[in-house]
Amino acid sequence: MSSRTWLFTSESVSEGHPDKVCDRISDTILDAFLAVDPHARVACETLTTTNHVTVAGEVRGPENVLKDVEQLVRDAVRDIGYEQDGFHWQTLEVVNRLHQQSADIAMGVDEGSKGEEGAGDQGIMFGYACNETEELMPAPILLSHNILRSMAEARKNGKETRLGPDSKSQLTLKYENGRPIGIDAVVVSTQHGEDVSQDDVRDAVLPFILHALPVGWSVPQDRIFINPTGRFVIGGPDGDAGLTGRKIIVDTYGGAAPHGGGAFSGKDPTKVDRSAAYAARYLAKNVVAANLADRCLIQLAYAIGVPDPVAVYVDTHGTGKVDERELAKVLRETVRLTPRGIRDHLGLSKPIYARTAAYGHFGRSPDEDGGFGWERTDLAQDLALHFGARADAAE
């Protein structure tokens, strides 16, 4: 039988991309509320354009945090690195339109007599994992993130002064029989200084691309496209308006797996758009870490005001080593998949969200303070023992 080959492409955008600026601001405001009150409710949307930021949405939490919103916005923009004429953390206009949460919504999701909270909305959430990288993530999106994250680190620590905050990457990988075997093309577009030539931009960016490639991989020089349209001096919200939640495929699996209907940023963990997507990734990653499948997709479905998911679906894409229905049953018994159960199990009621706003919510290393706790593989050993498998990646 002949081998099956194909190309697959994923993209990432940097923290300075206009939409990612909005995600960062929304999650910074969320963290500020959770730092004071772990039970705060936040649904914060942000819009950016030339020297302007508007925040809007509904909150239920300490009133004093609302007074800090303007400074939180400015601090976030400053940390990203915007000090250009058309978007400067000191001079931009900030409009705060946050208001108190609707009583009707609060009634549906508040804790009931059994100590549970209903889901904040109906919806479906997906989680995915695969064994093509150590992080159990699809390789194209992971490598795309790695290029931009390393560029941002060098820019912010002063090692690379020619590049600006706004950038995008795109990788096309070659696959053979379900495994990535090499890179077909790389595209990176990055903002740069007024006096920086395109040759200098290429010299600055190329080392970050090559460093991100797996050992033994290479890409022909004529398949590396750096700033293919030429100059990119005006960037960020001065070049294009931004909105919270417009980069959901960048946030998840780069198109290698489905995404539910909702974005993540600016939403507290009672919103299953966020918390259930994290739980689904957590379960899928542990299934793959337990060597129960090479690929695992999990779907969770909720009804507004109802604590438990109305459905749990598992698909191992023909790579599973156990019955999928039994696996779904065991996963549901292992983790309580109510909003409160997810929040308690993963420790989500903490100010850990601003760091998720760029370079992906998944495939990151768990932090000591609980950040990216959904990336743990602490269930893998028990799952492997239950099904008689071997947990290769269990912590």
Considering 8, 20, 294, 376, which one is annotated as catalytic? 20
pLDDT at position 394: 43
Considering 11, 15, 17, 328, which one is annotated as catalytic? 17
156 is a catalytic site residue: no
CB 109 within 8 A of CB 270: yes
Q: Which residues contact 377 (CB under 8 A, 6 or more apart)?
A: 285, 286, 289, 391, 393, 394, 395
267 is an annotated ligand-binding site residue: yes
271 is a catalytic site residue: yes
**Dist. CA 152–CA 353, nearest whole Å:** 18
231 is an annotated ligand-binding site residue: yes
240 is an annotated ligand-binding site residue: yes
CB 66 within 8 A of CB 96: yes
27 is an annotated ligand-binding site residue: no
159 is a catalytic site residue: no
pLDDT at position 261: 77
Name which of 12, 36, 24, 168 is nearest 89 in CA terms: 24
DSSP of 139-152: HHHHHHHHHHHHHH
350 is a catalytic site residue: no
* Mean pLDDT calculated for residue range 121-141: 95
pLDDT at position 116: 76
Confidence of residue 114 (pLDDT cuts 50, 70, 90): low
20 is a catalytic site residue: yes
263 is an annotated ligand-binding site residue: yes
pLDDT in tens, 248-297: 999 999 999 999 879 999 999 999 999 999 999 999 999 999 999 999 99
104 is a catalytic site residue: no
Considering 68, 111, 116, 240, which one is annotated as catalytic? 240
* Mean pLDDT calculated for residue range 375-386: 97
232 is an annotated ligand-binding site residue: yes
362 is a catalytic site residue: no
pLDDT in tens, 79-110: 999 999 999 999 999 999 999 876 555 555 56
**Dist. CA 243–CA 64, nearest whole Å:** 25
For the chain, domains (ranges, CATH) are 5-13+139-235 (3.30.300.10), 123-131+271-387 (3.30.300.10)
pTM of the model: 0.94
**Dist. CA 66–CA 81, nearest whole Å:** 24
The structure tokens 């009931």 sit at 112
pLDDT at position 150: 98
**Dist. CA 304–CA 123, nearest whole Å:** 8
Considering 11, 15, 19, 268, which one is annotated as catalytic? 19
For 24, the token pair is: 């960062």
247 is an annotated ligand-binding site residue: yes
Helices (H), 37-68: 63-67
pLDDT at position 110: 61
279 is a catalytic site residue: no
